[in-house]
Each structure stands twice: as C-alpha cells, then as structure tokens.
Amino acid sequence: MSDEWKRLAAERAVEDVMPGMKLGIGTGSTAEHFVKALGARVRDGLDVIGVPTSERTRELALSEGIQLTTLEAEPQLDLTVDGADELDPSLVLIKGGGGALLREKIVAAASKRMIVIADASKVVDVLGAFALPIEVMPFGLAATWNAIEAALAENGLSGDLVLRGGKDHPFVTDGGHYIIDAALGRIEHPACLAEDLAAIPGVVEHGLFIGLADKAYVAGADGVLVVEATAQDAEN
C-alpha cells in the first residue's frame, strides 16, 4: 500500500497549489507522484511555474508540461513540496536518500512554505533509523571523514559510515559531490548535530532539515493525516 499512500499524500498537497504560484518541486518517489498530479492540473489550465530540485525531477516535470524556471530568475518561491526519508512529530526531517539533498535544501530555504508528503512508514518518534546522508567534497575525503567521525563522537553518536556507491564507483550528486551515509540509530539532538556537521570543511550539506517544513501530509491506512509545525517547533 505504500505507493498508493504516497500518491494520496501527493494529491492532497496539490490542493494547496494556487494559480500563479512559484513552486519548488522535490525529488524522490513520493515527489514524482506530486509532479504527475501537478501536471494533470496544469493541463487543465493551472498557471504555475516550478524550480526542480534535481535533473530527474526536471525531466519528469517537462514531460508533464510544467513550466520551469531557476532560482536565478525567481530567487523567492511561494511553496516547496517534497518528500522525506524520515520525519518526527516536530517536522524535523532526514532527506537525501535520493541524492538531491543540497538542491532540496536550497530550494526549501528559498520558499515561504514547505509541505512534506509521505506515507506513514516515514514518521518516527526519534530520527536516525534511516542513515543520515552527508554530502561532501571529493577533495580531502579522508580528512572530512575523520572530522565527521569526531563530530559524531562529540554528540554521543556512533555507527557505520558508508560512502554511497563504494570507493570504486562512488555515487556523484548533481553538484559533483559524494555522499557519506551515517547509520546512527537514534539522533536525540538533531540541531546540535546539524550545527557541528555544517562547521566541518569539506561537508557541503547534511540531510537534517530543521525549521523548514511547516506542514506534512502523511497518508496511511486511516487516510491522510495533517501534521503542522508549531511556533515552538520552529524555534527548536
């Protein structure tokens, strides 16, 4: 049922899209359902323009007839709709399973609002069961790796670090970077970890999205649940 739930969440989010909006369009299997549902509305006459967060999303959006632009042309967006690999009750997210976390975070930060679409399996009490993606420069990889391990230890965290794709054929992001996936189990204090990772030279971005999402549509056996961030969540 997971794919059906993803579709239901995506279709609910499309209802929030108003004529004339400038949209950030996410990446991943759930976001693809959103692109297809948005394309259907565009073909029915909805006038919007989108900024895709990956080359894959760009190609799908164009095939659906959605008009696209860039953040250079439209540096402030009305709304971003994207999926998540994990989300907690405060709408703190882990993203980056699809490898587009840098562009996804740039686009989300340029938007007035962000809506997350997900199936119920993505909701957790504490983040970390999904390995945290950390996007890094290829240059100086060993030094960056050591610094990441030290930052994890400072935060009382441990777990396997894996170079996505392996050292012989590493996965390369649209920005030309590598991704280290950190299997941490439980991230009790994501804001502290996010700050420490961001301070490491060589770390381009990490998959902790904090204070960006203000609403989520989570679909499951009981239908689509609406989760909204509170002012306190945003402060944390």
Average pLDDT of span 73-97: 97
Structure-block tokens of residue 43: 């073909």
Identify the band that residue 229 occupies on the pLDDT scale cut at 50, 70 and 90: confident
Distance between CA atoms of 233 and 209, rounded to whole angstroms? 12
Q: Residue 234: is its pLDDT beyond 50?
A: no
Q: What is the per-residue pLDDT across 109-167, written as a single tens digit (0 to 9) for each?
A: 999 999 999 999 999 999 999 999 999 999 999 999 999 999 999 999 999 999 999 99
User: Per-residue pLDDT tens for 9-26?
Assistant: 999 999 999 999 999 999
Position 2 scores a pLDDT of: 87
Note whether 184 and 151 are within 8 A (CB). Answer: no
Map out the domains of the chain with their CATH numbers: 2-120+210-219 (3.40.50.1360), 132-202 (3.30.70.260)
pTM of the model: 0.94
Q: What pLDDT sits at residue 154?
A: 97
Could you read off the pLDDT of 157-182 as tens digits, one per residue? 999 999 999 999 999 999 999 999 99
**Average pLDDT of the chain, as a whole number:** 95
> Is residue 210 pLDDT above 70, yes or no?
yes
Residues annotated within the binding site are: 27-30, 82-85, 95-98, 122
Residues flagged as binding site for substrate: 27-30, 82-85, 95-98, 122
Q: What average pLDDT score do residues 21-46 get?
A: 97
pLDDT of 1 strictly over 80: no
pLDDT digits (tens, 9 = 90+) for 51-62: 999 999 999 999
- Spatial contact of 142 and 184, defined as CB atoms under 8 Å apart: no
Catalytic residues: 104
Close Cβ partners of 165 (under 8 Å, ≥ 6 residues apart): 171, 172
The pLDDT confidence band at residue 236, using thresholds 50, 70 and 90, is: very low
Residue 231 pLDDT > 90, yes or no? no
**Distance in angstroms (rounded) separating the CA atoms of residues 105 and 96:** 10
Amino acid identity at 71 = L
